[in-house]
Amino acid sequence: MGRSYDVKELQKWEARIFEKVQEFGLDCYPQEFEICDHVQMLSMMTYHGMPSHYPHWSFGKSFERTKTYYDHGLQGIPYEMVINSNPSIAGLMRDNSLCLQILTMAHVYGHNDFFKNNFTFRHTQADLVVARFKSHADRIRGYVEDPSIGQDAVERIIDAAHALSFQCHRNQAIKRLDRSEQIDRAITKNEEEEKQRKATQTKTKEETPDLFKIPLEPDANILLFIRDHNARLAEWEKDVLTIVHEEALYFQPQMETKIINEGWACYWHREIMNSLDLPTDIHMEFLVRHNQVVRPIPGDLNPYNIGLALWDRIEELEVGRARDHNEDKQQLDTREALFEIREVDRDSSFIRRFMDRETMEKLDLFEAAPEHQDWVISKISDDENWKAIRNLLVNSVGLTSIPFIQITDCNAHGSQTLQMRHEFDGRELEANYAEKTLEHIYTLWGRKVVLETTMNNNKTRYSFDNSGLSISADLIDSMYPAFDYP
């Protein structure tokens, strides 16, 4: 602290960092840095770092909340804000110390490399992303200003679309079959079953697949399904759904790689900072800041902490021993192994593959269950339980923390009721939120919508139509058990 600096100074340091980035073999998009003040930083955060973004009140809410937290000192502003685009854009807060700026720049290059190379980001079209968001913003503003549409109507659709934006396919790398391919697959499957039946001479009843059913295979892209199958939506409404869906798809990889990505950036900023021959005062401050960022947060999960611990563990296993990052030089072949992992893994696979008992103990991961008003530790990472805890962790990162709901049928040739199924994995939906979200789906679909889920170990059907919400008898029975009259 205390050192004053100017943009020239930052450029000098950036040049040295970039030299190291190349030396280490990181593969980055061109980088741009914007020097901003804290209000601009808050704005950047509110709009996910996008230079332009469509307007919606929820961003105002988010801004107010972050600003309140910041003003009351409940929450600092993150040191870095970087977006996945080509060229990558990052913000540097002008009030930060020189050390923090250097640290942030090094950290940003770590993210930049990850954005460019990790498989989950392949579909995000980083070259065009800023222009695409601009176009989205212009289109939505156009609808808001259109006197025949107006703000209220646009908001109604965006509100509903936001509620469903992350209800989409979980892995964009898996190709979706189109309808004719799905039909082929259904026919092939049916033929194979037929053969099987003949071969084994079982006398089960022959079942022909209903090839007119829509969707043929369950569909998790709720917004797109509604866009394509609700004929009564106006073109602009369809466009709004597309826009919200596309933005969700763009941000999906970042949700899927929070831990691995932050860990990666922390790993490399440490590597770069240690190789820069920093002046002592800056180096000391770096050590303090670095430890603040990667420290565990008891009672919570710090992705920086967990991510870095995992990358260190991977390196340790490659090298055969833990490395003192201040002293030892990194070895080239380990680097190659690390690069491969950063390309092919996301949080869930990263944790499943590399989180071992030692690391879990070191991180002191535990399972906590709700008991009355408190969280109470139910399992700790010991011989017996560590795998269970790891699996629970795998299930609570990225999109697995969002309930997976698929459209199973839309009764296109009859009532046009939209049937959905929540793929129950032991975790129940929050009932009130589910009800309200269902109402949003009804807003978009315009006819009855039905959601099947499991509550209190009972199959439960929530349905919403023009007379409002109704819940099937199953659940009501379990809530109000019938009396046995003698």
Partner 1 sequence: MGAIFRPYSPSDSLQSDRSSGDRQRHREKLRKALKENIADVISEQSIIGRGADSIVKVPIRGIKEFRFVFGQNTPKVAQGDGNSEPGQKVGKIQQDRKPGDGEAGNMPGEDYYETEVSLEELVEIMFEDLELPDLESKPLRAIEAEYTHKRSGTKRVGIRAHLDRKKTAKNRIKRKFAKEKVEKDHLAKEAALQSEKKASERFPFDQRDFRYHRHKPDIRYESNAVVICIMDTSGSMNVMKKYLARCFFFLLYQFVRLKYQQTELVFIAHDTQAKEVSEDDFFHRGESGGTMISSGYQKALDIIHDRFDPSLWNVYAFHCSDGDNFQEDIPKTLALTKELCAACNLFGYGEIKPTGGVSWGTPMLKHFDDISEKNFTTLGISSKSDIWPKFKAFLSRDRQKAESSINVFDPTS
Cβ closest to partner 1, residue 137 vs residue 410: 137
The minimum distance between CB 206 and partner 1, in angstroms, equals 37
Cβ closest to partner 1, residue 7 vs residue 211: 7
Q: Strands, E, within 37-139: which ranges?
A: 81-83, 88-93
Cis ω for the linkage preceding 55 (within 30 of 0): no
The minimum distance between CB 103 and partner 1, in angstroms, equals 15
The minimum distance between CB 232 and partner 1, in angstroms, equals 23
Encoding tokens for residue 383?
């011989």
Contacts of residues 121-127 at CB distance under 8 Å and 24 or more positions apart, as own/partner, are 121/84, 121/253, 122/172, 122/173, 123/172, 123/173, 123/249, 124/84, 124/249, 124/250, 124/253, 126/29, 126/84, 126/85, 126/86, 126/88, 127/85, 127/86
The minimum distance between CB 301 and partner 1, in angstroms, equals 6
Task: In whole angstroms, give the CA distance from residue 474 to residue 469.
Answer: 15
Cβ closest to partner 1, residue 40 vs residue 330: 40
**Residues, the chain:** 486
The minimum distance between CB 296 and partner 1, in angstroms, equals 5
The minimum distance between CB 70 and partner 1, in angstroms, equals 14
Cβ closest to partner 1, residue 369 vs residue 476: 369
Cβ closest to partner 1, residue 7 vs residue 322: 7
**Largest Cα span, the chain:** 89
CB 48 within 8 A of CB 83: yes
Cβ closest to partner 1, residue 341 vs residue 451: 451
End-to-end C-alpha distance for the chain, whole angstroms: 81
Which residue is associated with the tokens 């990225």? 398
The minimum distance between CB 26 and partner 1, in angstroms, equals 13
Which residue is associated with the tokens 């509903």? 160
Which residue is associated with the tokens 């980088």? 31
Encoding tokens for residue 57?
């009140």
The minimum distance between CB 71 and partner 1, in angstroms, equals 12
Cβ closest to partner 1, residue 109 vs residue 264: 109
Instruction: Please say whether the dihedral angle defined by the alpha carbons of residues 374, 379, 381 and 382, taken in this order, is positive or negative.
Output: positive
Cβ closest to partner 1, residue 254 vs residue 406: 406
Instruction: Please say whether the dihedral angle defined by the alpha carbons of residues 40, 43, 48 and 50, taken in this order, is positive or negative.
Output: negative
H or E segment to which residue 459 belongs: strand 458-465
The minimum distance between CB 257 and partner 1, in angstroms, equals 18
H or E segment to which residue 375 belongs: strand 374-380
Which residue is associated with the tokens 């469509």? 54
The minimum distance between CB 452 and partner 1, in angstroms, equals 13
The minimum distance between CB 389 and partner 1, in angstroms, equals 6
The minimum distance between CB 342 and partner 1, in angstroms, equals 21
- Strand, coil or helix: 125: coil
CA 439 to chain centre: 24
- Strand, coil or helix: 390: helix
CA 363 → CA 288, 358, 386, distances in Å? 20, 9, 12
Task: In whole angstroms, give the CA distance from residue 60 to residue 301.
Answer: 27
Task: In whole angstroms, give the CA distance from residue 66 to residue 59.
Answer: 10
| Residue 19, φ and ψ in degrees, nearest 5 | -55, -45
Cβ closest to partner 1, residue 105 vs residue 216: 105
Cβ closest to partner 1, residue 169 vs residue 185: 169
Cβ closest to partner 1, residue 131 vs residue 368: 368
Cβ atoms within 10 Å, residue 449: 24
Cβ closest to partner 1, residue 41 vs residue 282: 41
